[in-house]
Structure 1
Amino acid sequence: MTRSAKPELLAPAGDWEALVAAVQNGADAVYLGGKLFNARQGAANFDHRELQRAVAYAHARGVKVYVTVNILLSDEELEEAVRFLHFLQQAGADGVIVQDLGLAAMARQVLPELPLHASTQMTVHNRGGVEKLLSLGFQRVVLAREMSLQEIREIKEKTGAELEVFIHGALCICYSGQCLLSSMIGGRSGNRGRCAQPCRLRYTLVDEKGRPLVDPRDVGEYLLSPRDLNLSGHLPDLIGAGINSFKIEGRMKRPEYVATVVRIYRTLIDRALQENFYITPEEARDLAQIFNRDFTTGYYYGRPGYELMSYKRPNNRGLFLGRVVRYHSRTGRAEVALEEPLRVGDGVEVWVSRGGRVGVEVHSIRERGREVEEAPAGAVVEIPLPREVRPQDRLFKTHDAALVERARATFASPREVRKFPVTFYVRVRQGEPVQVRVEDDTGCSGWGTGHTPAVPAVKRPLTPDFLKGQLDRLGNTPFVLKDVHFELDENVIVPVGEINEARRRAIEELEAARSEAARPAPPLPDDTFTRRLAQARLQLAVRDLPPEWSPGGEPLISIAVTDLESLEAAVGAGVDRVYFGGESFRSGPPVGEEEIRRGVEICREHGVSFVLSTPRIIHDPEMNVIFRRLELASELPVQGVLVGNLGLLEPVRRAGLPLYTDLAFNVFNLRTAAWLLGQGAVQLALSPELTLGQVAGLVKGGRFAAEVLVQGAVELMVSRYCAPGSLLGGLAPGRNCAGPCRGRRCALKDRVGAVFPLEMDQFCRMHLFNSRDLCLVDEVHRLAEIGVASLRIDARGRGAEYARATVKAYRRALSLNPAVDGGELSRLRDRLQQYSPAGLTRGHFYRGVE
């Protein structure tokens, strides 16, 4: 394995201590966020001064810094975000990680000197998506966590792109960038950095009548809570696939976690590069001890099914410590047979027979009647435990004091662990101040001089050994002495303080030189940035409008359906456009070429526009199915193709078919809209996280054909994990699913009784829908007034009756005068409530998101 194959070890830094922990334990790069515009607003993060300090600190130690600007941005925020990018470029950041397509497009115009990395929030999961981002000017793509190693290997071979993947830490159950669960049920948007992690809460798998399909006492209650990713044992495979950067998740984690995980992966990667790979039991144990929800290899080696999940708890499991042998109620102490060492100061959690779990810190250990500080595995000890404890209860060590102390030593002390060799050149001549030059192995150097000339020595002249000893006082610097070269007159002396001061100044200059040399580009002058920004504003203002849309008319009614019966019902009810053909749910009939042909025929007979829909997630092994659908669409022909991921933009353009962009693009600002229109889009579906005011601003400012989702259960998640297949169908590594979803409807019920419908598509991906239907039937005139071109009803999986009733309701609503017929509009809304027993919602139409 050649040196060029060495991957980057990329570590999280949620605060300064975590940054130091990552650097000192061997990270090649760190990723961190500013106080705004990043997807981990719950972390401490870094203000402007701290960001400058962080870049200088890391660069001086040979470590790169990537800054996360990975959220969706409103038009009001975009320019401030671009100015922040300019600050980062001037500070010397090695790259920015972005989600928002509009920000990326603007950054390429205004700051081409700043490397762009595509966040995993961009949901890039196929070759076409990678190629599209390369054409947009991205230097690196962070792939979706749902990719298999084979898929990654093939993308690398065929594109040569710089690829980054996660190798350790927490997993999202949903494809990143496609999750609205926290947003819709609590107003805290994952796309805006405020995810409340409702996926880690309790859920029960139920049938369409709300009856449990599995017993939570047997399976567990945390049905959307994945285990933690751990690829420590598979690094040679990842290196062999040509992956450029190995990313550790954890900007919300403590610095002790960062120190431990980085230290072990640094060792393992270096070992793998030497083609002598192994992982020791101690290394494996330390990774598990510092934090785990149990471990998984994710999707790298296939679909893991129920082995992906931590059904019984959503937080740190710790390590199994042993079982209670006996409990002495008089003393409040338990005898425990240890399977791991135990030390005073460790934290343990008891899984008690009655009442759940109890956590305590161990303040006292007795072994054979004696108080001890620690006890080895195999010992039987007495420790104080709560009175709920019973014999045979299991204990887990959730905090290892020794491991934490070892980790803290790497970042809490001023003495540095990570060292770089330097050579000193010292000149001491009579009548001249001492001169010190220091140089590292890369050629960076620093100078330092004294103030007092050297004079003849009365007693003890300077010697090479003495000078070397003074120069070797580098403990609190990132350097270690390699060699010293002397120009030393005989029998001279200078004050020791002069030598030390010259050394200190030389080292400071060397650190600054290393930091400056590590910059990816010179700082962009303020006047150049201001001129480019003004040009970017002008270009947006004069952008040509798409000829397909002329604002001012009544909006069309569109509907998305997944079966022919619903399509026919919607057409009969007066719908203007149908999205059909790319996605089918296993609860209903499959959709093939025959169904698409028939759907086109029905629409043509009634003068209804037929747009071929496509799934928002399409992995490369599934692309041929979609390509055949595009060929069919060209042959029929259809009026367009609804596209939900970057990988299909070019194929649809090459097919010469009108392009409609789906909700998955998260259109949140005019820059994103302009970029998609520049890709040939004739209509854009806007983000369902926008308020009415934000929709109005987009439509008025962009004057393009905008579609708004107005009716249906909002899709909250799309996941490669399937709960019914895993819990009912036996899906696991080496075991195929028995297909319990065929012709069947399931749902997840949360702890307050809300029921979230599930659908499984033809590719066995799980779609989670909101418990309450979005309904804006009494708001259609507001949307018409601001120039929205299309009102979409999502009737996928809902059946013909729902499709017919909703289309009729919206057709009637558009015919009414809201100033006169407000009561009938309200009654239309009331009638639609029968299809949503949990009630209706206006989504973010008025409340917006955090």
Structure 2
Amino acid sequence: MKADRLQTSETTSAKFQLPELLAPAGNWECAKAAVENGADAIYFGLDRFNARMRAENFTEADLPELMEYLHSRGVKGYVTLNTLIFPQELREAQQYIRSIIAAGVDALIVQDIGICRLIRHLSPDFPIHASTQMTITSTAGVEFAESLGCNLVVLARECSLQEINKIQSQLSYRGSSLPLEVFVHGALCVAYSGQCLTSEALGGRSANRGECAQACRMPYELIADGEVVNLGDRKYLLSPQDLAGLEVLPDLVKSGVACLKIEGRLKSPEYVANVTRVYRQALDRVMEQRQKAEGRGQKEALHNREKVKGAEVKENILSASSEERYNLEMAFSRGIYTGWFRGINNQELVHARFGKKRGVYLGEVIRINNEKVILRLEAPVKPGDGVVFDCGHPESKEEGGRIYAVEQKGKETILTFGRRDLNWRRVHVGDKVWKTSDPELDKQLRQSFAGEIPQYQRPIQIEVYGEIEQNLVAIARDELGHVVQVESSTPLVAAHNKPLTPERLQEQFGRLGNTPFRLGELTTNLTGELMLPVSELNRMRREIVTQLDNLRRKPKRWQLNPNASLSDLLPSLSTHHLTTPSLIVLVRNLQQLQAALTTGVDTIYCEFEDPRKYREAVEMVRQQRRWGDREIGRWGENFTPSPHLRTPHQKSDSPTPTIWVAPPRITKPGENWILQQVRSCKADGYLVRNYDHLEFFADERCIGDFSLNVANPLTADLFKNHFHLERLTASYDLNINQLEDLLKSSPPDWFEVTIHQHMPMFHMEHCVFCAFLSSGTDFRNCGRPCEKHEVKLRVDAKRLVDRHRIGTEHILHADAGCRNTVFNGTAQTGAEYVQRLIELGLRHFRIEFVNESPEYVTQTIHQYQELLKGKITGSQLWRELKLQNQLGVTRGSVIH
């Protein structure tokens, strides 16, 4: 009978699934702050292989205790292993993964494709979450992650609600039900995660290795056609406002996303408590509204309300948003905005006036009298609050202090400060006043996670069954599906007074103070008026708590194959016939292409802003081929091209170069027309740069570009042997030692290495052209300044205290999707390493150009041709071209 009761008591799931609320935890205090303020799960890093190496982080030894604590509170724990893994680190990563799985962690958040393969090889059921560092922006990307064995995908922050809904719809149509996760709050990276090489290029601190130097938060000058554009106080051109999805929460719930993620593993416990509590309460309100709407009746009524249901919920959200917005701004704020959720608005995404924490805006200084500040308040303030005075130079040290007294006179507010607390010569009329500290709020937040007694309780459902002369049976279940059954030790008797009414049972079973539980729904199934001593009800309640707690504390037992090994996945190092080293040239306009054709290079890549010009490029190369074929037919195999097409010292074994073209690096739903435009040029092959390209160009000749982040042999093997790419471009995060390790652990003829380039640093949805050279919001109304101006960015030396790397003008390009790339203004070369790489078997070397003149292109190609032939050394080439003596990017982050 008990088993039957357990079976029949199963309840149906709600029609609308509340998304999981996922909070960050950089240390134990942050973990407690998240748990006690309503997080459903936390994510955290260990001391290696995570994208926030500056956080305090946890250790492997912490895992058992941390996971037991989280699970006892009904909270999941996800470990971040969201960096690229280099060849020599794979065995350590394997041991890390085994420890994590054995500790009962709920999932790993992973960037590296090879690591996804390794996890699934070690365990068939351990959950893998595809990190936002995997740059997934489309249905094809989600399905790619699914093919790796991922159980959830964290979409790129740049996806709008409309795009999220489109991805969900396409997944449903294709029969996939892989859950999606989105960031809902916190710092916005201006560059696509997994595609930012800025920190690596400028200082060897790779964002793909957890060491982002936040170059996006620096002030920049905008140089258009050689002249500095006067932008007034707007200097932080690449620093977005912080993401706050509170206003679109009903739409996110309606979209069906499975998890809402809060950014902030470098933030304080107060930040974690504050933001988690705001979103917990808002999410609960959204769900309450949805459940009310569902429970009102017939389908017609629901249909009639569908148009306004979202607005009704949003109104409830906004009714409390004044306090919530205040709390979010006090937690941490560079300004808060809905990011890309509502689509692209380049005028609002980046206000460009500062790039650091501000807080709540109080107003502007009207007067200064007797060391008192007068202003018209726009937000509440009280004695003890801390403020800062913003005079328009956020890069400099700013004046600030704590308020001693607040006096209201009409519409004006007088702020008094402690004597000698401020340097009044540095406070001015017109300064903006920001509230940066609220000790009272901080105290409340700290109290929310202080002590050992649980403060946030999660609901349990209890069903009670009973009839006379039988034991009372209580079945309890928590939100995670744990079920326990408890019986009274004495039978029920007929009640002469005080029978077991639903109200009385509610009162006794609801006494769950000092436990992680609160009573949710209570269902009674009693036959007749029955009685049981209160002491027995209390004992049953305590037993329910004990049994549920014991169940929750048990570690997750994932399958872990003891015989599986990294070695099983490593590619075979078969011997290959070594050919003459080959030079590959990437050009970015037709003039550069024409210059390259005069040099006799074997392979040319084109990456143009306008893919429509690819047809002309292909035709130019085909004309070269037709001319070459005629000359060979006329003169035989010992043919040498004539001087008008190729200078005498630039002879080539092949007068027939192949041309490969590059689609834009990002593909979003609805952008296949760009790929169709690219393919219509009928090039010899295509540079594959994302998961959509793998699918769209599957029947074409393809080479994997650097954006696939191939950093180890497991990733290389997948793309080479499963997707049949002809070659792979080694990740730009590899330094020379790591690159050598890659060539030793995989067949070297799989790869090409970029040995000369202007590093593509920022690749971003944010359009600088639109934001600062137009008044438009996006491509529909910006007037296309990208087609009219040559634009560069330069670190603003006047505003920087640290004046390193000033003067370099970084090149800005837009692509067909209106996405911007900032290229490092200083070219970099790996010329000195070429001979070592040739000795290791590498035969394909790439050089890239951005905006160089045709003459410079010709000269540079010639120098590298001489280098590959052994006629000059790498040191000679470096001196002649006056380039940085580095391999593609600055040395890898493991060395630094």
Measure the CA separation in 2 of the matches of 1:421 and 1:8: 15
Return closer, same or farther for 1:515/1:736 CA change in 2, 3 Å cut-off: farther
Return closer, same or farther for 1:473/1:152 CA change in 2, 3 Å cut-off: closer
Superimposed CA distance per residue, residues 71-112 of structure 1 (whole angstroms, 9 cap, x where no aligned partner): 001122122222222222222222111000111111121122
Measure the CA separation in 1 of the matches of 2:276 and 2:580: 58
Which one of the candidate residues 581, 591, 615 is aligned to 1:593?
615
- In structure 2, the partner of 1:725 is 770
Which one of the candidate residues 351, 356, 359 is aligned to 1:318?
359
Q: Please say if residues 777 and 809 of structure 1, whose CA atoms lie closer than 8 Å, have aligned partners that are also in contact.
A: no
Amino acid at match of 1:540: L
Return closer, same or farther for 1:336/1:8 CA change in 2, 3 Å cut-off: same
Measure the CA separation in 1 of the matches of 2:786 and 2:886: 28
Return closer, same or farther for 1:448/1:714 CA change in 2, 3 Å cut-off: farther
Measure the CA separation in 1 of the matches of 2:163 and 2:577: 43
Superimposed CA distance per residue, residues 244-302 of structure 1 (whole angstroms, 9 cap, x where no aligned partner): 21111111111212222122212222222314423222222222232211122222222
- In structure 2, the partner of 1:540 is 570
Residue 338 of structure 1 aligns to a residue whose secondary structure is coil
- In structure 1, the partner of 2:817 is 763
Residue 847 of structure 2 aligns to a residue whose secondary structure is strand
Moved more, 234-243 or 662-671: 234-243
Measure the CA separation in 1 of the matches of 2:736 and 2:661: 28
Amino acid at match of 1:807: I
Q: Please say if residues 349 and 358 of structure 1, whose CA atoms lie closer than 8 Å, have aligned partners that are also in contact.
A: yes
Return closer, same or farther for 1:352/1:299 CA change in 2, 3 Å cut-off: closer
- In structure 2, the partner of 1:341 is 380
TM-score by length of 2: 0.80
Which one of the candidate residues 342, 345, 349 is aligned to 1:301?
342
Which one of the candidate residues 687, 706, 725 is aligned to 2:731?
687
Return closer, same or farther for 1:688/1:376 CA change in 2, 3 Å cut-off: farther
- Residue 618 of structure 1 pairs with residue 670 of structure 2: no
Measure the CA separation in 1 of the matches of 2:462 and 2:128: 38
- In structure 2, the partner of 1:553 is 579
- The 5 Å alignment of 1:305-384 reads 305-329=346-370, 332-352=371-391, 358-362=398-402, 364-367=404-407, 379-384=413-418
Which one of the candidate residues 801, 809, 818 is aligned to 2:855?
801
- In structure 2, the partner of 1:372 is none
Return closer, same or farther for 1:474/1:359 CA change in 2, 3 Å cut-off: farther
Q: Please say if residues 585 and 603 of structure 2, whose CA atoms lie closer than 8 Å, have aligned partners that are also in contact.
A: yes
- In structure 1, the partner of 2:636 is none
Return closer, same or farther for 1:317/1:845 CA change in 2, 3 Å cut-off: closer
Give ranges in structure 1 of 5+ residues lacking alignment.
Answer: 369-374, 427-435, 450-466
- In structure 2, the partner of 1:115 is 127
Superimposed CA distance per residue, residues 801-850 of structure 1 (whole angstroms, 9 cap, x where no aligned partner): 23212211111112225xxx54xx544333323xx6xx564444766554
Which one of the candidate residues 296, 317, 328 is aligned to 1:287?
328
Which one of the candidate residues 174, 188, 195 is aligned to 2:191?
174
Return closer, same or farther for 1:848/1:733 CA change in 2, 3 Å cut-off: closer
Moved more, 407-416 or 229-238: 407-416
Return closer, same or farther for 1:778/1:415 CA change in 2, 3 Å cut-off: closer
Please state how far the C-alpha of 1:445 moved relative to its aligned partner: 4.3
Measure the CA separation in 2 of the matches of 1:362 and 1:130: 50
Give ranges in structure 2 of 5+ residues lacking alignment.
Answer: 1-12, 173-177, 291-311, 465-472, 489-504, 629-654, 798-805
Return closer, same or farther for 1:782/1:17 CA change in 2, 3 Å cut-off: same
Amino acid at match of 1:189: S
- In structure 2, the partner of 1:644 is 689
- In structure 1, the partner of 2:221 is 204
- In structure 2, the partner of 1:433 is none
Amino acid at match of 2:59: D
Return closer, same or farther for 1:649/1:481 CA change in 2, 3 Å cut-off: closer
Please state how far the C-alpha of 1:16 moved relative to its aligned partner: 1.6
TM-score by length of 1: 0.84
- Residue 670 of structure 1 pairs with residue 713 of structure 2: yes
- In structure 2, the partner of 1:63 is 75
Which one of the candidate residues 386, 396, 418 is aligned to 2:423?
386
Superimposed CA distance per residue, residues 521-541 of structure 1 (whole angstroms, 9 cap, x where no aligned partner): x243xxx533012xx413425
- The 5 Å alignment of 1:102-501 reads 102-160=114-172, 161-207=178-224, 209=226, 211-215=227-231, 218-273=232-287, 274-275=289-290, 276-277=312-313, 278=315, 279=318, 280=320, 281-329=322-370, 332-352=371-391, 358-362=398-402, 364-367=404-407, 379-384=413-418, 385-387=422-424, 388-420=426-458, 439-441=476-478, 442=481, 444-445=483-484, 475-480=513-518
Return closer, same or farther for 1:650/1:340 CA change in 2, 3 Å cut-off: closer
Residue 260 of structure 2 aligns to a residue whose secondary structure is strand
Residue 598 of structure 2 aligns to a residue whose secondary structure is helix
Q: Please say if residues 222 and 312 of structure 1, whose CA atoms lie closer than 8 Å, have aligned partners that are also in contact.
A: yes
- In structure 2, the partner of 1:607 is 656
Measure the CA separation in 2 of the matches of 1:376 and 1:410: 37
Q: Please say if residues 340 and 376 of structure 1, whose CA atoms lie closer than 8 Å, have aligned partners that are also in contact.
A: no
Superimposed CA distance per residue, residues 42-62 of structure 1 (whole angstroms, 9 cap, x where no aligned partner): 111112243323322222222
Measure the CA separation in 2 of the matches of 1:362 and 1:376: 23
Return closer, same or farther for 1:185/1:256 CA change in 2, 3 Å cut-off: same
- In structure 2, the partner of 1:454 is none
Measure the CA separation in 2 of the matches of 1:768 and 1:733: 18
Measure the CA separation in 2 of the matches of 1:537 and 1:729: 55
- In structure 2, the partner of 1:462 is none
Return closer, same or farther for 1:551/1:246 CA change in 2, 3 Å cut-off: farther
Superimposed CA distance per residue, residues 585-616 of structure 1 (whole angstroms, 9 cap, x where no aligned partner): 37xx9614343333344356422122232222
Return closer, same or farther for 1:539/1:360 CA change in 2, 3 Å cut-off: closer
- The 5 Å alignment of 1:76-95 reads 76-95=88-107
Superimposed CA distance per residue, residues 389-431 of structure 1 (whole angstroms, 9 cap, x where no aligned partner): 23443311112223222222211233322224569999xxxxx
Return closer, same or farther for 1:317/1:573 CA change in 2, 3 Å cut-off: same
Please state how far the C-alpha of 1:305 moved relative to its aligned partner: 0.9
- In structure 1, the partner of 2:640 is none
- The 5 Å alignment of 1:625-636 reads 625-630=674-679, 632-633=681-682
Superimposed CA distance per residue, residues 627-680 of structure 1 (whole angstroms, 9 cap, x where no aligned partner): 3433543xxxx4432101112112222x2x222100101111111111111211
Superimposed CA distance per residue, residues 9-52 of structure 1 (whole angstroms, 9 cap, x where no aligned partner): 22212222222222222222221111211101111111224332
Measure the CA separation in 1 of the matches of 2:670 and 2:221: 32
Superimposed CA distance per residue, residues 312-342 of structure 1 (whole angstroms, 9 cap, x where no aligned partner): 111122112234344345xx44344433322
- In structure 2, the partner of 1:513 is 551
- In structure 1, the partner of 2:826 is 772
Residue 596 of structure 1 aligns to a residue whose secondary structure is helix
Measure the CA separation in 1 of the matches of 2:198 and 2:733: 11
Give percent identity, aligned residues only: 34
Amino acid at match of 2:818: C
Aligned residues: 782
Please state how far the C-alpha of 1:759 moved relative to its aligned partner: 1.4
Superimposed CA distance per residue, residues 137-180 of structure 1 (whole angstroms, 9 cap, x where no aligned partner): 11111111112222211111111431111111111111111111
Residue 785 of structure 2 aligns to a residue whose secondary structure is coil
Return closer, same or farther for 1:707/1:24 CA change in 2, 3 Å cut-off: same
Q: Please say if residues 571 and 603 of structure 1, whose CA atoms lie closer than 8 Å, have aligned partners that are also in contact.
A: no
Let me know the Cα RMSD of the aligned residues: 3.7
Residue 786 of structure 2 aligns to a residue whose secondary structure is coil
